[in-house]
Chain A
Amino acid sequence: MKSFDYIITDPVGIHARPAGILVKEVKNYTDSVVTLTKGDKTVNLLKLMALMQLGVKQGDTVTVSVEGGDEEAVCAAIEDFFKANL
């Protein structure tokens, strides 16, 4: 398993539209299970509504983990995506 921590910089946090594009991105990696953890809650990043209900805000630290598939490459790609969009 590969993972990284990230502090959300987007002023609106992960609200509907950013959550949408994030899920869309994760869908590209069919061989991996990608999860996001905030505090004691973990959600599968294919689950849009569960992700939205985490209510991730600017300044929150989240942990993203990748299991299965080309873990290293997928993890790096998703980290880049976070930096660019969130």
Chain B
Amino acid sequence: MITIQGKGVSTGVAAGPLYFYQRAKSTITRYQITDLEAEWARFKAAQAKAIEQLGVLAEKAREEAGDEAALLFETHQMMCEDLDYEEAIENGIKEELRNAEAVVTDVAAQFAEMFASMDDTYMQARAADVKDVSSRIIGILSGVVQGGIDSDVPVVLAADDLAPSETVQLDKSKILGFVTAGGSGSSHTAILARTMGIPAIVGVGDQLKPEYEGRSVIIDGGTGNVVVDPDDPTRERLMAKRAELIKRQELLNQLKGLPNESKDGQKVRIYCNIGNPEDVHSVLENDGAGIGLFRSEFLYLNCDDYPSEDYQFEAYKKVLADMGGKEVVIRTLDIGADKMIGYFNLPHEENPALGNRALRICLNRPEIFKTQLRALYRASAYGKLSIMFPMVTSVWEVKEAKKMCELVMKELKAEGIPYSDEVDVGIMIETPAAAVISDRLAKIVDFFSIGTNDLTQYTLACDRQNNDLGRFFNAHHPAVLRLIKMVAANAHKEGIWCGICGELGADLELTETFLSIGVDELSVSPRAVLPLRQKVRETTVSLVRDKIVADLMSDEIPI
């Protein structure tokens, strides 16, 4: 197995035999001519033919990739009949009495050199256009048929660099992807590959050896990897990635923009869980309607000391602004247990999951909490913010945390710093205690979001970190599901919404259950949004609700 690193310029994974593009021979014969008018006419005929061919290519590109792609070939047509270019060729033929092939070759080199010497990388790349147009004319003059791949099976096409006309003339059904030795992200090959949805990797240089011809390769346009003769685990991994990409693309095409609505009209909001501001683009790419859980820990983990208010403010503000007014639920600091940060100087605990963590730390060390809340409220002026407290067990904790929110707002007001007074404040339901008193908690918060990972751990007395517990750690346990049902019902009694932001939210086996008990929001990893939407859209809640609820609440032991 050989792995070559290039620059991925068009995403996707493709596997197949490697095939080197066969370009028409570029050696031409040079000779003196006598009948200069006949030679000039021969050039004019070839030029007309080239313009005609480019017109066909422009139409083909228009159909495949739109007007923008067509314009490229129309520009090539104009280059073909450019007055200076034509004049230089006319001189070569009529004054120097040289044959058309030789003259066009030399004039092309001269014009290409002019572009190549410009101090602008874009214009330098246009040297390739002049050469491309000229080799078409030369090809016609010397009777060479352009393009094509001589292979019965689809291939991964390798080349030093592909001219735009070459990529368009190729038989697409034969091409799985491109690898080029040269080229850049802005070369026409890359642009066309992207528009046409074919993976492409450029700039692999001389790592791509001619002896690889015909060998099995897998290319990953996302990472820029070209793997020659992949071993089985690599093949398996990349093919799984390929299948996932294709599936996701198909889902995306089918489901993007459609509502998350069951067949009988029950709606559920599908939001995303993220841990970094950069994740926002994948939320939008996967059509997430908002962010249901933004873990704020990254800010603390990225720093060597407590992050300042301004630093936090900028990060929150960016996410809110990037989401363009869609709801963003930011969870306040949730460290302790499995997530430790050195500068917090937390003492070692025998049972960290049952120890000083999350909201408990915040309430014990109000200066840390207040800094975060000030940053959050300041950011609230830039989008639709909701704040969520983790690890609640009692009503007093929530009251104390909310008091801090009020204090912060009062301070900001006094300081004349803008904030939104429509920030919703909610809590995670992840302890059995919170679930059991959710009827009371519902009276003092704006929403619930159920953290199923911790709720399962605490309900079943199973440590999440302990891999030996296997069958005892069962997130589908009726105790967990009954608690979720109870929490949702208590939320609705007080007119607030109830969501799920743990792993279970994306578990398609439970989607019917969640819809049946009226969960309002599911917050999942971005790539789970569309599969979940699909599942919701396939469900008829009224057909399954009664049985699901009856089974869940029944005292009969299921077989």
Contact = CB atoms under 8 A, between A and B. Distances in A.
Interface of A: 12, 15-17, 19-21, 23-24, 44, 46-50, 52-53, 55, 57
A53 B115 contact: yes
Given A47-B82, A48-B82, A21 B123 contact: no
Contact of B119 (A17, A23, A55): A55
Interface of B: 68, 71-72, 74-75, 78-79, 82-85, 111, 114-115, 118-120, 122-123, 126, 129-130
A24 B82 CA distance: 12
Given A49-B111, A55-B123, A23 B78 contact: yes
Contacts of A53: 114-115, 118, 123
A49 B83 CA distance: 9
B126 A16 contact: yes
Contacts of A50: 82, 84
Provide the main secondary structure of the chain A interface. Answer: helix
Contacts of A52: 115, 123, 126
Question: 3 nearest interchain CB pairs?
Answer: A20-B75, A48-B78, A49-B82
19 contacts: A12-B122, A15-B123, A15-B126, A16-B72, A16-B75, A17-B71, A20-B71, A20-B75, A20-B78, A21-B71, A24-B74, A24-B78, A48-B79, A49-B82, A49-B85, A49-B111, A53-B118, A55-B119, A57-B120
Contacts of B79: 48-49
A14 B126 CA distance: 13
B286 to A, nearest CB: 30
Nearest to B85: A49
A48 B71 CA distance: 14
A12 B121 CA distance: 12
B120 A19 contact: no
Given A15-B122, A21-B71, 17 more contacts: A12-B122, A15-B126, A17-B71, A19-B75, A20-B75, A23-B78, A46-B83, A48-B75, A49-B82, A49-B84, A49-B114, A50-B82, A52-B115, A52-B123, A52-B126, A53-B115, A53-B123
A15 to B, nearest CB: 6
B129 A55 contact: no
A4 B103 CA distance: 39
A19 B123 CA distance: 12
Contacts of B71: 17, 20-21
Contacts of A57: 120
A55 B75 contact: no
Contacts of A47: 82-84
A22 to B, nearest CB: 10
Contacts of B123: 15, 52-53, 55
A49 B114 CA distance: 10
Contacts of B120: 55, 57
A24 B78 CA distance: 8
A11 to B, nearest CB: 11
A55 B119 CA distance: 9
A15 B74 CA distance: 14
A19 B114 CA distance: 17
A20 B74 contact: yes
A23 B72 CA distance: 14
A49 B80 CA distance: 10
Nearest to A51: B82
A46 B111 CA distance: 17
Contacts of B85: 49
Contact of B75 (A12, A17, A44, A46): A17
A17 B72 contact: yes
A21 B225 CA distance: 38
Contacts of A46: 83
Nearest to B68: A17
Which one of B68, B84, B120 has the greatest number of beta carbons of chain A within 10 Å? B84
A23 B120 CA distance: 21
Contact of A55 (B83, B84, B118): B118
Nearest to A20: B75
B433 to A, nearest CB: 58
Contacts of A20: 71, 74-75, 78
Which one of A16, A24, A47, A55 has the greatest number of beta carbons of chain B within 10 Å? A16
A44 B83 CA distance: 10
A49 B72 CA distance: 14
Contacts of B78: 20, 23-24, 48
A12 B123 CA distance: 11
